[in-house]
Structure 1
Amino acid sequence: MRTMLEQHQLWQDLTWVAVDDPDHRDLERLRDDYQISKKYLMYMKDIRERARFDYDAQTDCGLLVFRSVNHGEQGEDSAEYLETVPFCLIFKNNLLITVTHPHNAYIITDIRNVIGDLKQRYSEPNESLFTVAFNLLFKLNEDYLDRIDEMNKAREGLETFHKRPSNKQISQLSNLDKRLVYLKTAANNNVIAIRQLQVMSDAEDDPLKLSAAEMQHLKDLRVEVEQSREMANIAAEIVEQVVGSYSNILDNSINNTMRLLTVWSLALAVPPIVSGFWGMNMPLPLVKESWGWLFSIFISIVPIAILMWYLKWHHDI
């Protein structure tokens, strides 16, 4: 059976601990072996934890929660689909702990690729754990742009319909609008988390000590996550406009239907009046004539024709 907690020795004295879908025993091991605070353990278990950066001065430990794109369940119409899931990075001295969930377990492969690239680039890497983390976050941020492109293509497909959108298209657009709300909220929280990390490391008396190269890397990362946030906001605004167009088209269709029903209700009200008049049990003109029923039909059709002409003349139909 595969273990959910794996320790990997990197270059020099740096260590990476990969934790995938931690259970109670994994969390206890993190607490006992690596002295991770209970507060951070609670953050790891929450699948809906928002992006943030937090530093614990007592244990000299920093926690970065980054909302990563869900590569798990598929289906645009799924009501339970989580667009993003939290990914936790813990920095403690020469130790980097990563915590993933089933829907973002692909990040472990991404980390291995980042470490492999650094090893290929340098025969004896001397990069810090922050450099590894920043390179990884660049990759995770690219997933936002890919997901936004997918949503834009889905939106373009929903913009093409005949006369009025179908119920299926309306449902898909509503779901797309909801998914974009979650995506842009996660992107905005990621920006806040990166800013918090930057604030904790941009002065000499700050607890995090980053080199000039690492600070520049962090600034570049902030630019990228801000770009993803803006792209998500733009995509959400366009979808909102399409939702408004759908609403206008449906309202106009309802108005046309109600106007048509009103016209026909007025037209069909004439024959019962005529037939009711000629059906009264009392002497009436033309009752005994053989063509009297044709005359009743004629005087029913004439008011209807006059009504239709009047409504057409005034552009009501």
Structure 2
Amino acid sequence: MTITGVRTRLWRSGVLEKEDFPFADISDYVCQDDCLVWIGLRSPDAEVLNGLAEELSLDPLAVEDAIAHRERPKASHYDSHTFLSAYALELDHETSELKQTQVSAFVLPHAMVSVHTEDWFDIDAVLRRWDQDSELIKLGSKTLAYHLLDYLVDGHFDVIQSLDDEIEALEDVLFDDSPNAAQKNHLQRRTFALRKALVQARRVILPMREVLNTMVRRDSVMPEPLRPYFEDLYDHVLRASEWTESLRDMISSVFETNLSLADARLNTIMKKLTSWAAIIAIPTAVTGFYGQNVPYPGFGQHWGFATSSAIMVGLVVSLYVLFKKKEWL
């Protein structure tokens, strides 16, 4: 009987023997010491997962975590298996929206069950890694878990690199001498979108340190030849975490700098408006004074008009030169 969304593989002594064999044959292979079985479930229904859990003695709490949404990345050891929960990430470069899907795995002595829900998660890429590393397959189910986690961490790095590039691209717009309204609006929206994506990525990347630490430090049955691979992956996770922290500082700096530049531009505009208002006030004051209905020096004389004009021009030019020196204009 073929069940939708279920894929299977069988290795015997490290050599791939069968693929997509009947679901009912799983129990016949997992009890054999020279066999290694992978069962891949995509959006499994409760009947399939519960049936498999009963057949392989999977812990009910772990089964519940595998199908629950928004579980925190973690690694838990049970009597018969180790349960892993992590996230695959993908960044939409057009909208800066971060897609994420939970990927869970039950690691048994001679089998691994993986569970994911989204179609965009490329499980075939994980299978290709298994095919390319047939020597490690001989070490058992921990090898399958290693390549799955390694693929997820590589995806984290791709997302972080994309976020880094996007944040650097914001600097070109941020320090534009004369940004228009559309550029300002784009910068604000892009900054907010990247900040949101970074927060979401940080929530699933930072806990990966605990996942790998549990696998490396607390797994007493870890094959020794495989331990250096997990330790190297742990170093990658630490680097991804540190990179995420630095990006958080960068996006915060961009956000704060944008506010500071907006204030600076506003101050510049206010200085210009104030300067021009002061310049315009001079002729207004002079013409207002000479427009009084009382006699004044030069009243009704040509030299009086010339004097008032000279006063206006002189004071206006003086203020203009003064404001230019102070870079207010």
**Equivalent residue for 2:44?**
22
**Equivalent residue for 2:16?**
none
**Equivalent residue for 2:82?**
62
SS at match of 2:114: strand
Candidates 155, 160, 169, aligned match of 1:157: 169
- The whole-number CA distance in structure 1 between the counterparts of 2:249 and 2:321 is 45
Does 1 or 2 have the higher relative contact order (CA < 8 Å, sep 6+)? 1
Q: CA deviation at 1:97?
A: 1.1
| Alignment root-mean-square deviation, CA | 3.4
- The whole-number CA distance in structure 2 between the counterparts of 1:188 and 1:309 is 58
Deviations 1:103-134 (A, max 9, x none): 6521x212321332244x58xx5331101111
**TM-score of the superposed pair, with normalisation by structure 2:** 0.75
**Equivalent residue for 2:206?**
188
Q: CA deviation at 1:284?
A: 4.2
SS at match of 1:160: helix
**Equivalent residue for 1:40?**
62
Unaligned 5+ residue runs, structure 1? 203-208
1:102 equivalenced with 2:118 (yes/no): yes
**Equivalent residue for 2:272?**
260
**Equivalent residue for 2:130?**
115
- The answer to whether the Cα contact below 8 Å between 2:11 and 2:37 also exists between their aligned partners in 1 is yes
Aligned amino acid, residue 16 of structure 1: W
Aligned amino acid, residue 171 of structure 1: R
Q: CA deviation at 1:258?
A: 1.6
- The whole-number CA distance in structure 1 between the counterparts of 2:228 and 2:38 is 23
Q: Relative to 1, partners in 2 of residues 1:288 and 1:183: Cα closer, same or farther, differing over 3 Å?
A: same
Q: Relative to 1, partners in 2 of residues 1:30 and 1:270: Cα closer, same or farther, differing over 3 Å?
A: farther
SS at match of 1:67: strand
5-14 or 135-144, which moves further after superposition? 5-14
Aligned amino acid, residue 5 of structure 2: M
Give the % identical residues.
Answer: 18
Q: CA deviation at 1:62?
A: 2.0
Equivalent runs, 1:229-240 vs 2, <5 Å: 229-240=241-252
- The whole-number CA distance in structure 2 between the counterparts of 1:111 and 1:299 is 84
Q: Relative to 1, partners in 2 of residues 1:252 and 1:23: Cα closer, same or farther, differing over 3 Å?
A: farther
SS at match of 2:172: coil
Q: Relative to 1, partners in 2 of residues 1:94 and 1:268: Cα closer, same or farther, differing over 3 Å?
A: same
SS at match of 1:10: strand
Q: Relative to 1, partners in 2 of residues 1:304 and 1:17: Cα closer, same or farther, differing over 3 Å?
A: same
SS at match of 1:8: strand
Q: Relative to 1, partners in 2 of residues 1:295 and 1:201: Cα closer, same or farther, differing over 3 Å?
A: same
Q: Relative to 1, partners in 2 of residues 1:160 and 1:2: Cα closer, same or farther, differing over 3 Å?
A: farther
SS at match of 2:98: coil
- The answer to whether the Cα contact below 8 Å between 2:39 and 2:114 also exists between their aligned partners in 1 is yes
- The answer to whether the Cα contact below 8 Å between 2:282 and 2:315 also exists between their aligned partners in 1 is yes
- The whole-number CA distance in structure 2 between the counterparts of 1:164 and 1:61 is 61
**Equivalent residue for 2:282?**
270
Q: CA deviation at 1:35?
A: 4.5
Deviations 1:134-171 (A, max 9, x none): 12322322223333333333333333243155322343
- The answer to whether the Cα contact below 8 Å between 2:126 and 2:148 also exists between their aligned partners in 1 is yes
**Equivalent residue for 1:8?**
9
- The answer to whether the Cα contact below 8 Å between 2:82 and 2:108 also exists between their aligned partners in 1 is yes
